[in-house]
Structures are given as structure tokens and as C-alpha cells.
Structure 1
Amino acid sequence: MENCAMPPVKFTSRRTVLLCIFALTIATVLLAVFLHKPSQPAYITAPVRLGSIENAVLATGRLDAVERVNVGAQVSGQVKSLKVKVGDKVTKGQSVAEIDDLLQRNDLRTAEASLNEIKADMLAKQAQLKQAESKYKRQRRMLSEEASSQEDYEDAETTLATLRAQMQSLNARLVQAQITVDKKKVDLSYTRVVAPMDGIVIAVVTQQGQTVNSTQSAPTIIKLARLDVMTIKAQISEADITRVRPGQKAWFTIFSEPEHRYDATLRTVELAPESIMKDDSLASNSTSSGSGTSNASVYYNALLDVPNAGNRLRIAMTAQVSMVLGEAKNTLLIPVQAVHKTADKKSQVQVLTPDGHTEAREVKTGITNNVDVQILSGLKAGETVTLSQPEAKPAEGVFFL
């Protein structure tokens, strides 16, 4: 009986091994479950920050002087002297050039001689008229006394009437001669070319010694401009034209100083497109509207004034113009992609909480520039908003016993 019993030591050792294997398996599973935590959703986010925002109508324009004139000659002749050069400042009435005046002086002398001749004829005719009046009165008295014949009386009467008519003709010739003299004096004054306004000489077109001919049109001698104030002619699309108004604040940059902002003021917006100023294209488009519709864009010229005390701005420069519709400084900003409209047309954002979840929050928005939007209420600086929802990921593997 004692030889049939199993040794107790062997039974205990096998049981211990099984228990150890089971415990190790449980520990492995628990460790795998603990280490295999689901990852947090990946959001694209942006912080709520303080900054400045501006909503503006953008346009491209050209700079020009607020006043610019071509100073020309109104008489023909040789330019005897040119008294200015490019860059010179001139005042209104200042002489800028002189044209040889010999022809004009001779014309004036001829006209004055004709005037003096008519005046002399009038003096002689006045003496004859006075004599004729005396003779007529004498003949009338003698006729009443029957001391003279009817024929002598009529001769005296006819002579008086003729002399009076001649005096009227001389008076008319005198007026005409005086007009001619005045005109020749004006022509003589035109040989002295003067500046019509204060400004700066921006171009000299005609050189000294050159002959000008004013028969058909006044030849330009110099070009004069006021550069203390510049005007920008900017083209505004018809899509934006109702958003701008005179007196509106604006700013612009130029190619040589893209980082420098120049302030300007919108003076006016032209009532018709520039094409209407050049031709009657509007009428032609209306006439041809039955055969087809034109898709050409329509632009209106906006005129903006900008001070130019240092003459840094030049004529014909290109200006990138921003006409400000609204602006705010030191205000809360977030990207426009973060704002969504609810079913009841309210603005809403998704705010990322510290534990990695999101919460919907209603906000009140203000100015937008299509990149950022102003937040008037509903958020605080430093909070984080989401720009997009996380993408759905495939289910992770699960460990089973």
C-alpha cells in the first residue's frame, strides 16, 4: 500500500507552475490594455488673440498732380528766350518765355496809324459839318425872307445830310480801328508767356530759338503742375461702388515703398465710367443689347487727394489703394474658418477645453476682412478655437483572452 501513493512534492510543483503561467498571462493582458489607451482627436486650432483688423475696398490707381496745365504760345514766332527749366518753382503771372515780337509790334503800329488817320478824317469832317450846318441855317433864314432860292436851300440841306452820314461812317470806322488796336496790343502781350498758376515746371517742350506756329492750335512751351497735393484716380468695380463715399478715409502704397502707408481722403466718385467720357459706348451697348449681353466689367474712377509736402510722390506712379470701410484696434480676433452659422442664423464657434474636448459657444462678430473676424463677445483672449473637426479613424485592435 505504501508503494502505490504519489509523491506529494511532485504534485505541488506542477500546480505552482500552472498558477505562475496563469498569473503571467493576466498581467500581460492588463499591461496591454493599460498601454493601449485611445489617442486624443487631432484638431486644427487657432488661439483667440488681440490685434487690429480692417475691412477695405481694394483698387489700383495712378497718381497725378491736383492741377496740371500745358502753358502754350497764342501767337506765332521764334522763342527768343526761355526763362525756366525743369524743377523751377514759378508763381502766377511770372514770365516763363518770350517770343520775338517784331511782327506784333509792326501790326500794332499799322493799326494805330489807321486809327489816327480816321481820327484826323473825323476832325476834318467835323469842320465841314459845322460849316454845312451854318450854311443850312443861313439858307433857311434867307428862304423865309425870300432872299434865297428854293434850290440853294435844298443844296445846303443835302450837303448837311451827306456830311452827317459820313460822320456816322467815320464813327463806325473809328470803333473798328480801336478794336483792331486793342487786339494787336493783346497779340503783343501774348509774346510774353506767363505762368497761369503757382506750380513747378515738370517739362520743357519747346526750346529757345525754336519757331512756334499758333495758326491751328496753341503750341505747348512748358508743362506746369501743382505737386503739393496729389490726386489718385483709382478704378472701383461696380460690385464695390455703393460701399464707398466722399470723405472716406483711405491709404495706399507705392511700388518703391511697399511697407510705407500714405494716408489719403476720397474726394469724389465720378458718376459715369471713363468709357462714357470718351464715347457713347453706353448707348451703343443698350442698342445692341437685343443681340447679346456684354460681360465686360464696369469700373468707376474714384478721386483721392493726398498731401505731398516733400514731393516724394510723382506723376504717373502706381498706387495700391485701400478705402477703409471699418477698422478696430486691440480687439479679439479669430480666423473666419472658426465661425459657423447655426440653423437660426447665429454665429457659433467650437472652443477646445483643457481636457481635450470641444464645446459649442455662441459669439457676436464684428468687422471681417475675409481672413480674420472680430469677436465682440463670447470669447476671451488666450482661449483656443477649432478650425475643423477631427477625421474619423478606423477602430483599433482589441486584445482578447
Structure 2
Amino acid sequence: MFAAGWYFWGGNRAEGQKTAYLAEAVTRGQIEDTITAVGKLNAVRSVNVGAQVSGQLISVKVKIGDHVKENQLVAEIDPTPSEKRVESAQAQIDNLYAQLQSKQAQLKLKELNAARQKTLLASRGVSQSTVDQANAELAMAEADVKALKAQIRQQEAQLDSYKVDLGYTNIYSPMTGTVVDQSAKEGETLNAVQSAPTVITVADLSTMTVEAQVSEADISRLKIGMPVYFTLLGQPHKKFRGTLRQIKPTPQTENNVVLYNALFDVPNPDGELMINMSAQVYFVIGEADNVLLVPVSALIRKNEGTSDDDDKASYSVKVVKDDGSLEIRPVEVGVKNRVQAEIKSGLREGEKVVVTSASSTADGDGKSGPRGPRPGGPFF
């Protein structure tokens, strides 16, 4: 709130000049120094729930806006092709086990034959070549058994893969949240060969993330953990508060303007915050309540080598005394924005400080001097 202004007239007889002063009273109130930005709301966490196998989508069990729990069944793909592949793989395994049983019987026979030939060789009943032949046939039988066992392991792994694919025909939500989008409809054929087609999107709307775009001129003033709040277009007077948690290091450039994305989270227990809402964001550099305030135009910077934002900068103000004369008084400045400044010491509430002044030549009689407030009362 701005204070009323008063015009005061003072002069210098020697120089024949008179000066009009626009002064404002020192008030008490609240002040904050902020950096403003525009942002968008999004869910703090969201996931696209897709199909991992190809097939016809025969059922979608949820709709947009529904609340789902983790591991809840949300859609089904026709399981018939996957069931047939499982059945075929199981039949091939059964066939391989039958072949293995036959090969193991032959291996047993070869083992007995090799042992017999070895015994006969000791009694000179057979030649060495006959024994060697029996040993070779035994080794071949052992190799056949090993090969069949390897085929069985391979086929069992393939069967497990088919069973997994069969399980993928039932699609479950990976998280608790709200269905915010549905990309596929019942009856559509989904092709999951190259990528996983999205069926629905689930988002956790209990906490929202605001992503604000901050100019490169202001980004150095932001600090992780600083307070921040925003308002909505539909609720300009309600403040949603949070804490800055991240500044993305890679900027975006729009129309040659470099913008950095600053993120913070806000709770959304009532669900009034929605995805893609526009937010007017305020990063709070400093704030104070129930303090003395003056217009920033009343400050006179004493340290010429420092900037207005420098903590070492010192200031003074011109105070209008009761007789209309001016007194330059040093003040200690606290929080300061583009409009007002907090005065920590040096002024009292109700005192008037000069915000603008203008000089002109005195009247012909040369009379000038301090005078009280101009008739007509306060100037607004």
C-alpha cells in the first residue's frame, strides 16, 4: 500500500531559488523481495503403462480420472497366441524327454558292451580294434545324451519366455495414482516389436511439481532450499508454497532469451492442482513483516562504488522537519525491492521523507523560505 504524498516548499534566499518537495510518510507493513517467473504444473511422478507383447487389446478396465493402486489389473491383451506358444513349447520338451530316455537306454547298452569287450580282451577273446570300436560307440552315446539335455534346457528357457509373455497379456499398474490419459482403445491391435505401445498413463497427483523458467539474469540469485510460492490464474489471491529443490543446468533458448528451469514441489491433497496449469511463480529472496517502509526512490546511496544490491551499500534519506526544512539522515536498510525498502534504524513511523524535488526561480520580491504544507492537503 502506498502512502499519501505531500508537497513542501523550501528555498534559498541567497540564490533566489525555491524547491518543491514531494514527500511520503514512513509507514509500517510487510515487504518481500522476489524474483518472478512463469511456470507449468506437472505430476511429480508419472508413468506410461504399455504393452510388452503384441496382440489385440480385448479389455481396458479403467478410464481417465480413475484412481488405481499398484499392481491393479488395468488392461488385457488376447492371450490365445501366447497360450498356443506355451502349449507348443511344452510339447517339444515332452518329445525331447522321450528322445533322452531312448538315448540313455542306448548309452546303458554301450556301457555294458564296452565293459564286456574289455573283459574279453584280457582273455584274448577279441582284438584291440573291437574294444576301441566299443569305446567309440560309448563316447558317441554319451555325447548324444549331453546334446539332448542341452536341447531340453534351451527349450525349457524358451518355454519360460513364452510363459512370461503370457503373463504380459495382463497389464498391471506399476504405481498408485490417477489415470490421466488413455492412448489405446479396446479392439486395437498393439505392435510391441519395436517399442512398447502406451495403453494408459498413470500419475501421482498427490504432489505436484512446478517447473518455472527463470532468466539468466536472475538465476544466480536463486539458491536451493529457498522459499517459493505461486498463484494460479483462477486463484490469484491464494498462495501455494514450496521450497526450491532443483535448478536444471541445461537452459532453453527461446527467441534468443536464455531460460533456466527451476523446480519445486507442492502438496496437492485436495486435487485442485492439475497438470499443465499455468503458475505465476515468486522466488522469495527476502521478506519482513511489521517493519518500517519507505519508497525506494527516497533512498540516497552513499557508497558510489557499490550497487544497490550490494550488502555493503549504505544509504541516507532527506527527512522533512516540522518547519519544512530538510535533514539528511543515514538509515539502515533491510529488505528492498523495486518499490519499497525496509528501514531497520534511522527513522520513526509517521516521519516524512523526500521522494522527488524540483527547483525554480523565486518571485520578484526575492522572498523565499521554508513554508508548511501547501494548501489543499495531501497530494495523491
TM-score class, shorter: 0.7 to 0.9
313, 317, 320: which one aligns with 2:277:
317
For 2:314 and 2:73, locate their aligned partners in 1 and report how far apart those are by CA, in whole Å. 70
Q: Gaps spanning 5+ residues in structure 2: where?
A: 1-15, 305-312, 368-380
In the alignment, which residue of structure 1 is the partner of 2:378? none
Letter in 2 for 1:232: V
Corresponding residue for 2:290?
330
Cα deviations by residue, 1:12-35 (Å, 9 ceiling, x for unpaired): xxxxxxxxxxxxxxxxxxxxxxxx
Map 1:46-57; keep pairs closer than 5 Å. Answer: 46-57=24-35
C-alpha deviation, 1:180, in angstroms? 0.6
Specify the SS of the correspondent of 1:312. coil
Query: Given residue 379 of structure 1, which amino acid in structure 2 is its aligned partner?
Result: L
**1:141 has 2:119 as partner:** yes
Matched residues in 2 for 1:224 and 1:44: separation?
Answer: 60
1:59 positional shift: 1.4
Question: Are 2:185 and 1:185 aligned?
Answer: no
Q: Which residue of 1 aligns with 2:346?
A: 378
> What's the CA shift for 1:80?
1.4
Is 1:125 the counterpart of 2:103 in the alignment? yes
Segments of 5+ residues of structure 1 without an aligned counterpart are 1-37, 276-293
1:356 is matched with which residue? Answer: 324
The residue type equivalent to 2:228 in the other structure is A
1:203 alignment partner, one of 181, 203, 209: 181
Please name the residue that 1:241 is paired with.
219
User: CA–CA distance in 2 between the matches of 1:246 and 1:167?
Assistant: 67
Query: How far apart in 1 are the matches of 2:218 and 2:143?
Result: 73
Question: Higher strand share goes to which structure?
Answer: 2
Q: Are residue 391 (structure 1) and residue 377 (structure 2) matched?
A: no
Q: Number of matched residues?
A: 344
Check the 8 A contact 2:56/2:190 in 1, yes or no. yes
Distance (whole Å) between structure 2 residues aligned to residue 387 and residue 182 of structure 1: 83
Offset, 1:84: 0.5
Counterpart AA for 2:158 = T
Contact between 1:40 and 1:356, CA under 8 Å: does it hold in 2?
Answer: no
Equivalent of 1:70 in 43, 48, 53: 48
Q: Distance in 1 between matches of 2:59 and 2:18?
A: 87
Contact 1:136 1:157 in 2 (8 A): yes
The SS at the match of 1:391 is strand
Structure 2 counterpart of 1:316, which letter?
N
Within the candidate set 61, 65, 71, 1:83 is matched to 61
Residue 328 of structure 2 aligns with an amino acid whose one-letter code is: A
Q: C-alpha distance in 2, partners of 1:297/1:348?
A: 37
Structure 2 match to 1:12? none
Structure 1: 4+ residue segments shifted above 4 A: 38-41
Deviation sequence 1:315-364 (CA, Å, 0-9, x none): 01111111111111111110110000236763110011111111110101
Partners of 1:326 and 1:363 in 2: how far apart?
19
- Please state how far the C-alpha of 1:140 moved relative to its aligned partner: 1.3
**Distance of aligned partners of 1:346 and 1:210 in 2 relative to their CA distance in 1, 3 Å threshold:** closer
Per-residue deviation, 1:378 = 0.3
Question: 2:250 is matched with which residue?
Answer: 272
Q: 1:58 to 1:39 in 2, by over 3 A?
A: same
Deviations 1:31-60 (A, max 9, x none): xxxxxxx99853211111111111122111
CA distance in structure 1 between the aligned counterparts of 2:140 and 2:334, rounded to whole angstroms: 94
How does 1:167-182 map onto structure 2 within 5 Å? 167-182=145-160
DSSP 3-state at the match of 1:185:
helix
CA deviation after TM superposition for structure 1 residue 133, in Å: 1.3
